[in-house]
Structure 1
Amino acid sequence: MASSSIHQDINVAQIAADIVCEFLEVAFHQILYIRQVYPPGIFQRRKKYNIPVQMSCHPDVNQYLQDTLQTIRPLVEKGEVEKVVLNVTNCQARPLERFVFEVTPPVQPSVNDDSYLLRLEQALRAFVLKINVCDSMLDTLPQDVTFSIHVYTQDSAAASLEQQQLVQNFPWVEADSDSLRMPNARIIPLKTMTSNVIKMQLYVEEGDKTGR
Structure 2
Amino acid sequence: MTSIAQKSKGAITLKGSAEILCEYLDFGINSILFQRGLYPPEDFKPMENYGLTILMSQNNQIKEFLSVTLSQLKDWLVKRIVDKVALVITNVNSFEVMERWDFKVEYEGDSNQDGGQTSDKPLKQIKHEIRDVLKQIASSVAYLPLLDCLCAFDIQIYMKDDVNLPKDWSDTDAAHVKNAQTVKMRSFSTNIHRMDTCVTYKNED
Category of TM-score, reference length = shorter chain: 0.7 to 0.9
Are the equivalent residues in 1 in contact too, given 2:100–2:177 (CA < 8 A)?
no
Q: Name the structure 2 match of 1:144.
A: 150
CA offsets 1:38-68 (integer angstroms, 9 cap, x no match) = 1101000110112100000000111111111
Q: Does structure 1 conserve the Cα–Cα contact (< 8 Å) formed by 2:179 and 2:204? A: no
Contact 1:90 1:142 in 2 (8 A): no
**2:140 maps to 1:134:** yes
- Match of residue 95 from structure 1: 97
Give structure 1 stretches of 5+ with no counterpart.
1-10, 166-170
Could you tell me whether the CA contact under 8 Å between 1:96 and 1:208 is conserved in 2?
no
TM-score (norm 1): 0.82
Which structure shows the bigger proportion of residues in strand conformation?
Answer: 2
Contact 2:17 2:190 in 1 (8 A): no
Task: Tell me, yes or no, if structure 1 residue 111 matches structure 2 residue 119.
Answer: yes
Q: CA RMSD in A?
A: 2.0
Q: Any runs of at least 4 consecutive aligned residues in structure 1 with deviations exceeding 4 A, and if so which?
A: none
Are the counterparts in 1 of residues 185 and 197 from structure 2 also a CA contact under 8 Å? yes
Is 1:27 the equivalent of 2:35?
A: no
Decide which structure has greater helix share. Answer: 1
Partner of 1:17: 18
Aligned length: 188
Pairing of 1:65-104 with structure 2 (within 5 A): 65-91=66-92, 92-104=94-106
Contact 2:104 2:195 in 1 (8 A): yes
Identity %: 24
1: CA distance, partners of 2:190 / 2:59: 33
Paired letter, 1:118: K
TM-score (norm 2): 0.85
Q: What is the CA–CA distance in structure 2 between the aligned matches of 1:45 and 1:12, rounded to whole Å?
A: 29
